[in-house]
Structures are given as structure tokens and as C-alpha cells.
Structure 1
Amino acid sequence: MDAGTRSSSRRSHARRGAAIPPSLDRDERLGRFAALQAVLRARIETADDVLFAEPLNRHLSPLGWHLAHCVYVECYWLREVLAGDDRITRPLSADAWPEFAPKAGRGARLPARDRLLAWAEALQAENGRLLAAALGGPGRLLADDYLLHFLIGHHVQHLETIDTARVHAVLARPEGYVTPHPLFPCSPEPDLRSVAAGTYRVGADAGSFAFDNEGPARQAMLQSFAIAGKPVSNAEYLAFMTEGGYGRSALWSTAGRQWLQETGAHAPAWWKRGRDGEWHGATATGPCPLAPDAPVTGVSFHEAEAFARWADCRLPREAEWETAARAGLLEESGQVWEWCADLFHPYPGFAAYPYDGYSRPWFDGRHHVLRGGSLLSAPEVTRPSFRNFYTADIRHIPAGFRLAR
């Protein structure tokens, strides 16, 4: 699900944390928060009318909704939870809670852009002052500046979703781009790095901010394994396509074959054929060539799993991924969210916080774990212990994968 489905409300809050470097003091962290508020408003101010008010597809919300929602979330925690004042949040809840505001109808209930921006700027300035005054107060929510970290994490989540929508807006334009550098296939030759069998620590680092599903830290007993130094590249993925990977039933799980039949997928969601018939990619500012060595982006778990079978490999388990990341074995981590083999599950001793609905509803046997962060991610969400999670069919996000054996 995107940020508009699993984001902050009474029952559903930000899925991404904010591991702000410890060298920042509180004032600098508050400055970071204010800067994120300003960037959110700037994204909405410069969005075209369609992006502002209309969803591009069933997975994405109108961009104006993200700003309204982020303001609501600030008000919910700072005013309703801490101060018992719901005068702002109560009338907004039907529009700002993801559960009560289906994506398809969110744009129709937005105010005019100038009104939304003026409302947001005024409330966010006051919310910043309320937050600064509250920090250091009693209670777990304020201890160690938890709420500041939490709100920063929430806002960077929505900024990534906003920028994802901007990329898809470029991909939705009529064909007309001619790439100056066509992509050619290259058979995968993963640079596998070995890790010895042993017991390795995984999970949240002591004394640092983390979300509930990152803990408690545990000792994971791992068999020896090997993991690729880099994610699968565009050129390697094109080789899978040209060798008929999408049409080879044996490479796909039962669920993957059903997904193929339903979607007709035949290439990554972040690829598009141009006027010249060649594949190209996109950024938020326009179409671009696909760099052969860059990680493939916009693939589902089903596609990643099928490619791994084709390459006589597998997807890494998340404990393997984290162990390799902590050992410094993973190059280009943070380029794409990386699918892991695991279903999203609670660690032993899991305790929900700050509310039951942040992680627990998604331990449903349907969501898979992704690790690492993407080029659209803020630094706050790229710590080794952070666990992203999506269902196996999702491919609108900047997701790729690396191989393991």
C-alpha cells in the first residue's frame, strides 16, 4: 500500500522511521521538520492541476490530499493526543483518515489549491511551535524526542510517495521520447559475497529511534549464504525479458502466474517504449535513458522471484540482507527498495507501539518485506533494520531486488 493507505491516523500511522544522525541537536531536528513541511507545500504548489486533484492509478492519491493528510497528522498528535483538543481534527477525520477516504474520491473533497496552501502554512507553523514546546515533557511519546522522529518519518514517507506519483505522471505522457542510448541485454553474472554460518544480531539498534516491527533486536541463526554485491541491473533484466522470462510458466509461482494473467505485465512498471521502439525510464522531471548498470526499478515480488529462478538463484531472506548490509557487503543499497523472500512477520517479543495498528494488521501472510530504500527515499528511512512491506503484486513503487544463493 502507498503512504495514503498506511499513514498516520488513530489506527494507521507512518510506516517509516526517522533515524536522524545523533550529531543533530533538538533545534537542528526541529529545523529538519520545518524544512520537510516546506518541501511538502512546495511539491503541492508546483504540481499540475491533474496531479493535484486526481489519482493517477488505484495505488496513488491526489497530491493535494497528501498535504492535507500530513497537516491532519501533525494536529492529531500535537493537539488531540497531547492536549485533548480535537477541534481541528474531528471535522477533518472523514477526509484525512485513509480508512475513511477512498483514493478515488479524495480529490473531489479538496479545497482550492491556494486555500489549502494557506491553511497548511498557518497550521504547520503553529504545529512546529507546539512541538518545540512539548519535547522533553513527560511520557513515552515525548521521551528521546520520539514524536519529532515519528513526524519526520511520516513526512518523508509522503514525500517519497508524492515523488513516485510525479514519475508515473511522466510515464503516462504520450509516447514521443527517443532515447539517445538504447538498452541492450546482458546475462546476469552476480558478484556473490559469502557469509559464514553463524548467529548474527538483527533488528533495531539500542538507543536509536525505530518502529515497533524493527524490534526487539534478536539473534538470528543463519546458514552460510552468498548474496550479490549489487542489485539486478536494467541490462540483466532485459536479458530475462528477451529470453522469454515472462512467458516461461515454470519460472513463476502459482500466484505469479495468476498475476501475469490478470495484469498482462511484460516489462517493469518504470519502463516505457518510446517513439523509436526502445525502452526508456523516467524521473520526476522527464523521460531518461535506462542506464545498463543501474538497478531495475518497478518490479513486483512475483517478477523478482521469477527472475531469481531464471538466474538459478533466489531472493535473500531479510535477516541475510540485514546481516550483509551491516557487514558492508551490499553495494548500491538505497538505490531501490529490495524485495526479500520473507513474509512480513513480528519478531519474537513484538510489542505494538505507539498504537496497535501500525504493524499488526499487516502481519497477514500477504505482505512481503523490502529493505534498503530508494533514490526517492530520505536518509531517515535507510537504516539496516528498517522493514518496508507490500503485497507481492505491487510494482508502482521504486522496487528492485538482488540475488542470493
Structure 2
Amino acid sequence: MPRQPPFDQTPVSGPEASPLETLAQHHAAGQQLAADLPEPHLFGQHHPDLSPVGWHLGHCALVEQHLIGERILGEPADASIHALYFPEFSDKRGRSARLPEREALAAWTTATHERTRALLAEPPEPLASHPLMRDDYLAHFLEQHYAQHHETLAYCLSAITASRDDSEVASAPLERLNPCAPARETVTVAAGVYTIGTDHVRGYDNERPAHTVPLDGARLGRNPVSNAEWLAFMVDGGYHTPDYWTQTGDAWRRASAARQPWTWHEVEPGHYLWNGPRGRDALEPSAPVSGVNHHEALAFARWAGARLPHEFEWEAAAVEGHLHGAGTVWEWCGNALAPYPGFQPFPYDGYSMPWFDGRHFVLRGGSRFTEPGLKRPSFRNFFEPHVRHQQAGLRLAWDLTQ
């Protein structure tokens, strides 16, 4: 299998960039990736939960065209493009075969991006006076939407890395990973009433409105669970002990035959590498574990005599600056995504409402691939409990009485 070219996994923009400048930088990064990737990597589906790289690029362009051209300026929709790039109309398993050739994909996405930036820079009257333009909301929304897909592109490339056989492992230091018992160093969230959520223009609808909630108080791990701590769970039989798993988690454990995080690659017993978008690299013992799903996180917490934090406990601690390592890995929380009191869908009904189904669990914080603007304390990520391709780990929590 050909090796993919280097992928710039650093944030695309600095803190002083405007949302339109940041959007332009995302456009450029996506176009460069499309130009550099071998076609099997651009159009192939390398993980059942991940769409091809080319589909993500087309989807982001369609969202811009749909919101500005179709919804605001009243331009006719292209049913064939909707059928391919809107996920509700396009089965993930068939997207790879339906994508256009590289040149056609690049020409259409580039033209769409250029028009988007031109219209946002000098909006005609129907666009300038539209409610979505208030406080630059539309530019913020599109920039953040692309930022989330930019992160998913890193996961797509990591899936390519994970699919290689051992003969393609790059030379990397092979130091033995030694297990380490979970640390009990904690920070305290005192019992009280806390403000949760945001009313800022950048906040998504599921982050709004800001409101107060009472908390009983908790102790949270000062740091996310590390690779060495996760290895201790593995060595102690964590993946072979049903008692640590919920009923649905145990069904997943048996069906998947998982025995280590998705991002780990065992070269030889006790020696692991990390599957990343640039290839395989050394697995750092003290780095946060990543590539585990909600079932695995719950099992680890039960094994450690702890639990997962509620997302409100996590946000309260993050706002007070107590959480070390926040933003280095997405952190599973113990609760499912639910609307806040007074929730209003925006900018369209389908952005958050379909996921208030009790089957999508919240993650907080952000990963090494997340744009800084998304690493705000109120940001809510969410996935179904079996999903493990994203850079997700966990932080332990205990009641104050424990």
C-alpha cells in the first residue's frame, strides 16, 4: 500500500485570525490534501465508521453552497449533489464508489470555496441582511464545521495507518511499555450551583443557552488516564473480565474481540506503536490513552473503583482551570447528550436534535487534532458508545464521599 504524504496535524490558524481567514486556511489545507493523497487513500473507505477523505471535502463544500446559495440566495438545489454529500441521503458504505474523479472533485470544491469567501467578504443585500449573518455567525459556523471535519480527516489518515501490515511499520523506538496503577491525584468540584453552557456567537445550539445547575460535588482526576495506566487494565485482565463491563459493553467486547485501544499497534509482546495520520510512532507511557470507546471507558473506570464524570462536573472543573491535560484527548463523560432547558435548534433542526436519542454519549475537551476555538469548556462532542476511531480517552471521577 502506498504511504500517504505528511499531514499537517497542527491547528490551521492563529488566535488572531478572523473566522473568514480561518475558513480560507481550512479550504487550502483540504485542497492540498486532495491534491497530495494517492487515489486509493482519497477515495477509499478505510474504516466502517469513517467516510472517504474525498467525501468529507465534498460535504463541507455542499454545506457552504446549501446555506448561502440555496437557503439564503434562493438558488436551485442540485439533487444529485445532495444525494451524495448529505449523510441522511447517502449510505456510508456506498459513498466511495459514487465520488467524482479527483479533477472534478477539486474543481467543484475549489470553485465553491472561492465563491463562499467572496460572498462572505462582500455580501449582497439578501445575504447581508439575513439573520445568520448577525455577529458573523455564518462565518463562525462554517469555519467550525470545517474544523470538525479537518479533525475527522486526521482520523481517516490514521485509519489508513492502522490498516497497514507489519512490513510497512516505520522504524521507531521500541521501548517496552510498563503498566502503572491509576493515579489518585484529584481536583475537587465543590458542591454548589454552576453556570453551564454559553450564549456566545460561536456556541452551537446544543451548548445553548447558558443556565445554572446544582452539583453535589465530585473529585476528578487531575490528569486523563495515561497509556501506562491503560496497560495496567489490560495486564490485569480487563478485556477478559465480564464483571467490569455493562451488559451492552460486554456484548460489544465479545463481538469485537478488542484487546487494546484502536490507536495501538503491537509490534511484539509489550511493545506498542501509536497509529497516527503521519504513520506509526512511539507510544508515550505518560501520554493520554486514546482510541477507546464508551464501553471501554466505563469498564476501565469500574476496574479502577471510579466512574466517569458527568459533563457538568467536567465543565465546572474546566472553567476553574483545574483539569491538567484538558484538550489533549477527547474525554468520555458518563451521560448521554440531551438538550438544555430552553433549547432552540439553530441554524437548522437537524444539527443537534437527531442526536438527543439517549444513544450518543458526550465527550469533552478536544484532542491534538482539534482547533483551539473548539476547545472551549462548553463544547459538546458526542458519539455512540461503540465508536473508537476518534482520539478519545477518559478522566476518572469519584463522589466526594469516596
Do these two structures clear the TM 0.5 threshold for a shared fold by scoring above it? Answer: yes
Q: Would you say the 8 A contact 2:220–2:309 is kept in 1? A: yes
**Are 1:161 and 2:152 counterparts?**
yes
**How do 1:7-18 residues align onto structure 2 when only pairs under 5 Å count?**
none
- 1:188-337 → structure 2 map (5 Å cutoff): 188-204=182-198, 206-274=199-267, 278-337=271-330
Q: Would the aligned equivalents of 2:47 and 2:159 in 1 still touch at CA under 8 Å? A: no
Q: Give 1:91 deviation, angstroms.
A: 3.6
Q: Does 1:99 align with 2:92?
A: no
Report how far residue 179 of structure 1 moved. 4.0
C-alpha distance in 2 between matches for 1:346 and 1:119: 36
- CA shift, 1:373, in A, is 0.6
Equivalenced residue count is 382
In structure 2, what is the equivalent of residue 122 of structure 1?
111
Distance 1:276 1:230 in 2: 27
Per-residue deviation at 1:295? 0.3
The 1:20–1:93 alpha-carbon spacing in structure 2 relative to 1, beyond 3 Å, is farther
What is the rounded CA distance, in whole Å, between the counterparts of 1:215 and 1:73 in structure 2?
Answer: 22
Alpha-carbon displacement from aligned partner over 1:130-185 (angstroms, at most 9, x marks no partner): 12223882232110111101100111111111111101111111114464222111
Amino acid at match of 1:361: P
Using the TM superposition, give the Cα deviation of residue 115 of structure 1 relative to its aligned residue in structure 2, in angstroms. 2.4
State the 1:249 CA deviation. Answer: 1.3
1:111 aligns with 2:111: no
Following the alignment from structure 2 to structure 1, what is the Cα–Cα distance between the partners of residues 41 and 50?
Answer: 10
Sort the Cα spacing of 1:381 and 1:292 in 2 relative to 1 into closer, same or farther, 3 A: same
CA shift, 1:93, in A, is 1.0
Structure-2-length-normalised TM-score: 0.91
Give the aligned partner of residue 76 of structure 1.
66
Q: Is the 8 A contact 2:175 2:271 kept in 1?
A: no
Conservation of the 8 A alpha-carbon contact between 2:331 and 2:364: yes
- Aligned position for 2:393: 400
Q: 1:277: how far off?
A: 6.2
| Secondary structure of 2:345's aligned partner | coil
Show structure 2 runs of 5+ residues with no match: 1-12
Post-superposition CA distance 1:66-87 (Å, at most 9, x none): 1111111111111111110025
Structure 1 residue runs without a partner (length 5+): 1-18
Q: Whole-Å Cα distance in 2 between the matches of residues 170 and 292 of structure 1?
A: 20
Structure 1 residues 19-98: aligned runs within 5 Å: 28-86=18-76, 89-98=78-87
Q: Distance in 1 between matches of 2:64 and 2:349?
A: 19
SS at match of 2:128: coil
Query: Given that residues 184 and 235 in structure 1 are in contact (C-alpha distance below 8 angstroms), is that contact kept between their aligned partners in structure 2?
Result: yes
Q: Secondary structure at the match of 1:41?
A: helix
Letter aligned with residue 137 of structure 2: Y
Q: Would you say the 8 A contact 1:74–1:127 is kept in 2? A: yes
Q: Secondary structure at the match of 1:134?
A: coil
How far off is 1:90 after superposition? Answer: 3.5
User: Post-superposition shift, 1:276?
Assistant: 6.6
- In 2: Cα distance, 1:378 partner to 1:194 partner: 28
User: For 1:239-278, what per-residue CA distance to the aligned partner results, in whole angstroms no more than 9, with x for missing partners?
Assistant: 0000001111111111111111111111101111115762
Whole-angstrom CA distance in 1 between matches of 2:96 and 2:84? 10
